[in-house]
Amino acid sequence: MGRSLGQIAGAAEQARALIAAGETVVELDPESIDNSFVTDRLERGGSDHRELVELIRERGQQVPILVRPHPEKPGRYQVAYGHRRVTALAELGKRVRAIVRNLSDEDLVVAQGQENSARTDLSYIERGLFAVSLEERGFDRTVIMSALNMEKTQLSRLISIASAIPRELAIAIGPAPKAGRPRWTALVQRLPERDLHSELGSLLADATFRESDSDQRFVRVFNALAPKKARKSARPTLWRSPDGRKVAAIARAGQRVTITIDQKHTPEFGEFLIAQLPEIYAAFGRRADE
């Protein structure tokens, strides 16, 4: 609940600024409010949602949300920020205190992104997927930089990493707030040329995995994609002649047997063995038939 209070405090400053600028707070039916056209969270619900519901139940909605008249649905509204409060108030059967502003698509995503950035509320991968979604919708990177309050190099790195993570995998893992840029970068480095369906299919479908928190899910996926250790080959067996000279080294690995002739001590034996292979194999065949 302390975390929810801290998050709402940041949004309150923006709301006070809007009210000071002459904006009017109205009460809306939560059923008339739609989400933003671009998602910024991988998970809605969980313990944070329960904390927010209880906080609003006890103290009411202290901070209004920001919406715009829906550009395609007369009589409806679209959230710029405050998605979680709308969900909590709908669950409680309460009306939503909101500031209604005419916002362009760019205005909306900038307000949405800056509110989350100001509260450091989105995890690294959530910011990354938000940026990728905006770019896919044709927003200029200057707009995305403004929305996420980051400079060009940071944004390029963020989009590069988020683009390399299959969206289905990111959704399965969730926000993983403890996994910052270095950990997601390390995960990306484990992805190339991997068959994620065969390697992760059973893990992602496992009930224990789905019930774990997102940081634990990240660790399990990360560990599942760890480079496989090369199997140590058995030490070769030396075969010596009756007089003690090294003749060959015999190595067995899986279904393969390798015989290496020591040309230094028996230079003619290799060629002799090659010449005798047909007769040796024929003798093997006769033995198998016996």
How far is CA 124 from each of CA 104, 130, 173, 216, rounded to the nearest angstrom? 26, 10, 13, 16
96 φ, ψ to 5°? -105, 125
What is the rounded distance in angstroms from the CA atom of residue 146 to the CA atom of residue 99?
22
Q: What is the pLDDT of residues 120-133, one digit of tens each?
A: 578 999 999 999 99
Q: What is the pLDDT of residues 127-158, one digit of tens each?
A: 999 999 999 999 999 999 999 989 999 999 99
Supply the pLDDT for residue 7. 47
Mean pLDDT of 24-40: 92
Kind of pairing, strands 96-100 and 237-240?
A: unpaired
What is the rounded distance in angstroms from the CA atom of residue 51 to the CA atom of residue 85?
11
Q: Does the pLDDT at position 189 exceed 90?
A: yes
Asked if 38 contacts 134 with a C-beta cutoff of 8 angstroms, the reply is: yes
Q: What is the pLDDT of residues 78-114, one digit of tens each?
A: 999 998 899 999 999 999 999 999 999 999 999 998 8
Supply the pLDDT for residue 101. 93
What DSSP string describes 102-114? ---HHHHHHHHHH
For 32, which DSSP code? G
